[in-house]
Structure 1
Amino acid sequence: MMLKLSDRNWKEFNAFGTDGLFEIHTTNSSIDKNKLLSGDTLTVPYVTRSGGSNGVSKFVSSENYRYGFDNGKSITVGLDTQTAFYQPYKFVTGQNIQVVTGEHLTPSVIQFLLPLFRSQLTAKFNWGGNGATLSRMKRLKLLLPVNAMDQPDYAFMSDYVDQQKKQLQSKYVIYAQKKLQMLGTPKPLKTLSELNWGYVHINDIATVKSGKDIYAHERVSGDLPYVTSGTSNNGIGYFVGNDNKSKADHVISVNRNGAVGEAFYHPYTALFGNDCRTLVLNEQYEYAPFFIAAMLRKQKDAFSYSRKLGTARLKVLRIMLPVESDGKPDYDYMEQYVKNKMIQKYDHYLKYLNASVIGSNKL
């Protein structure tokens, strides 16, 4: 029988404190990047308050374990950024991180709780004077499903997450299999080091266009991606029901402001804010634009908040690309290179999922 959230009774609980469900504390391992020890093997997650990659900024040497947090299977909360992530392994923390632990925090229960923590953090705290300090976090409350004894139903939380996970895995297997069938088989290519490379001006391979802002009071809820100037989710900040002249598909967005220099390829239709510029490539390929976007991102260190990447600079920007004997971009190589990588990744994902299913059936 399918488990449903609407079939449960729910009750509010103190998340922390003397009568709270979990423990929260600031670790004594908060160290700056410049104090991290180097080593031959970089296997330890360095968790910061950033909003992507599970909060993992980089991997560091196991020599840093002396600063590490001993308990895996925990939740890290980023101050000011109001981020919350599951940490299944021992890790080293950056500054302004709090760690949530508890006897009931199994991996599946944590996955159930994370959206609840994030919604509360976003609703009650913000950047600046009202950040998620330890004292404020101790007053946090969570609305949770309860069992017959009117206590948090951790068994339901775990079973519900496992059910959702299996459904998503089944959908992804079907999706990945279709993608692999469409992509075909990988083709042998020269390695990147064997290629001829050359500088290419953006103005020679694309037309640069400006975006158009949709301010908060103008946004209408909808399904159309609205690309801003972020670093994650392909730069998509919102999904809207608006429409304007920036609407485009099969374009590369480049951040003019914000996370300056970040670039993403959008084969789907989207709207673009004025902190973005869009590149309409002269040569239309299905996969080569992903390669070009990656090479654009290589240039982002040359720009910053004080040196923005506007239209004029973007047009004359030079990026390194594989080139043919006449110096023109080798689009065919880039196209097949990306296809090969996609085939490799989808194949890896399927093997991982199949192994996970086999492993879970043995338990």
Structure 2
Amino acid sequence: MKKLVEKEWNNYNVSEIFSKIQRGKRLKKADHVPGAVPYVSSTANNNGVDSFIEAVHGTRIFNDCISLANSGSVGTAFYEPFKFVASDHVTSLRRKNTSKESYLFLSAMVEKQGVNFNFNREINDSRIKKMQLMLPVDDSGKPDYDYMEQYASEMRGGMLMRYRTYVARQLAQLEYKQIATLDKKEWKEFRLGKLFEISRPKARNKDHYEMGDIPFVASGATNNGVMKCCKPHMDEQLDAGNCITVSPVDGSSFYQPIDFLGRGGAGSSILMLRNNNLNLFRGEFMARMVQQTCSKYSYGHMGNKDSIKRERIMLPVNAAGEPDYEYMEQYAKNMMLKKYRQYLEYLKGNIN
């Protein structure tokens, strides 16, 4: 198969490629009825799925298409293989007789156009009609869908194989041990200020950094709080890993295993919690407990360094009444083993 740079490419209007272009319908949050149908909005995570609702009368339902975010995470595009309800911030792009692999290729090409839009220049219906895609062409000068399908299939297969190798390696490093269930352990309340040294990063803004390989951690609720990977400034000192970061905006808490650049300098900058007893497994367990306590934070009631010191969390304890770090570590290992095995079974069914 030819490499991408070896193929001839051409520009096409979106309307030349997709036979049906239709926007979702407005559905206020207050009108959502909890259910089993994905609700796709303008988020850049989880395939655009914001929640799961009932497809009540008046909603607009799509499936087997590309969802394009018109606002919010403007320009984000996902292939949606399932039936979903689309918000009015999403446009469905559908093409007849198109394979999953071809859709995956096309969604990447659609998303590349996102650089032309932002919060101040959203994607409206007229702009979609003018949007152009660069696509590989065949010998007759038409879009080469066979090539797109083959390329996406090979890329996906390679990624799945690498994931399976990674999971198998993690399974080999973890040992399952029988321990008491959570409800059989004794628990005790601890003040965060007594358990952790709490600090903020220095003032930083992700927009002031070039792309690199160091995580920039901010107050996001997903992806471990990582907004992007950056190149540090000359002689800049990183924030040390092996700590828990907390968002004062919504209490989202994550264990950070490696050194990172933390967002600081403003009210919504992250808080860093350090404890000499932390490691990956203990950190994951304790981050979950911290988040349960701090989830009450919001834009109208943000946390800060002083308030978080007063917060209390429940932790399992040993015979001396101290935090049982060994138990937390093994519990996290057992849970990871369970999830890795489930993931490996899923991968086996998705690798030809």
Contact map agreement 2:27 2:59 (CA 8 A) in 1: no
Distance 1:3 1:179, change over 3 A: farther
Contact map agreement 2:62 2:86 (CA 8 A) in 1: no
Q: Following the alignment from structure 2 to structure 1, what is the Cα–Cα distance between the partners of residues 250 and 52?
A: 24
Q: Following the alignment from structure 1 to structure 2, what is the Cα–Cα distance between the partners of residues 174 and 165?
A: 14
- Of 11, 16, 30, 1:34 maps to 30
Deviates more, 1:193-202 or 1:133-142: 193-202
Contact map agreement 1:209 1:277 (CA 8 A) in 2: yes
Match of 2:13 in 1: 14
Q: CA deviation at 1:56?
A: 1.3
Q: Following the alignment from structure 1 to structure 2, what is the Cα–Cα distance between the partners of residues 289 and 142?
A: 44
Given the alignment of the two structures, is residue 23 of structure 1 paired with residue 14 of structure 2, yes or no?
Answer: no
- Of 102, 124, 127, 2:119 maps to 127
Match of 1:260 in 2: 250
Contact map agreement 1:46 1:56 (CA 8 A) in 2: yes
- Of 327, 332, 336, 1:342 maps to 336
Give the letter for the 1:23 counterpart. K
Give the letter for the 1:7 counterpart. E
Match of 1:233 in 2: 223
Contact map agreement 1:104 1:154 (CA 8 A) in 2: no
Match of 1:323 in 2: 317
Between the two proteins, the alignment pairs up a number of residues equal to 344
Q: Following the alignment from structure 1 to structure 2, what is the Cα–Cα distance between the partners of residues 252 and 328?
A: 20
Give the letter for the 1:178 counterpart. R
Contact map agreement 2:247 2:253 (CA 8 A) in 1: yes
- Of 295, 313, 337, 1:301 maps to 295
Distance 1:32 1:194, change over 3 A: farther
TM (norm. structure 2) is: 0.90
Q: CA deviation at 1:201?
A: 1.3
Contact map agreement 2:250 2:296 (CA 8 A) in 1: no
- Of 72, 77, 88, 1:84 maps to 77
Q: Following the alignment from structure 2 to structure 1, what is the Cα–Cα distance between the partners of residues 338 and 2?
A: 35
Distance 1:96 1:21, change over 3 A: closer
TM (norm. structure 1) is: 0.87
Distance 1:271 1:76, change over 3 A: same
TM-superposition CA deviations, 1:271-301 (whole Å, max 9, x none):
2111111111131333011011112222343
Distance 1:213 1:117, change over 3 A: farther
Deviates more, 1:266-275 or 1:213-222: 213-222
Give the letter for the 2:252 counterpart. E
Identity %: 29
Contact map agreement 1:74 1:87 (CA 8 A) in 2: yes
Distance 1:68 1:158, change over 3 A: farther
Distance 1:74 1:277, change over 3 A: same
Contact map agreement 1:68 1:90 (CA 8 A) in 2: no
Q: CA deviation at 1:48?
A: 1.8
Match of 2:87 in 1: 94
Q: Following the alignment from structure 2 to structure 1, what is the Cα–Cα distance between the partners of residues 205 and 155?
A: 35
Q: CA deviation at 1:200?
A: 1.7
Q: CA deviation at 1:70?
A: 4.9
Contact map agreement 2:206 2:216 (CA 8 A) in 1: no
User: What residue ranges of structure 2 are gaps of 5+ in the alignment?
Assistant: none
Match of 1:206 in 2: 196
- Of 245, 259, 262, 1:272 maps to 262
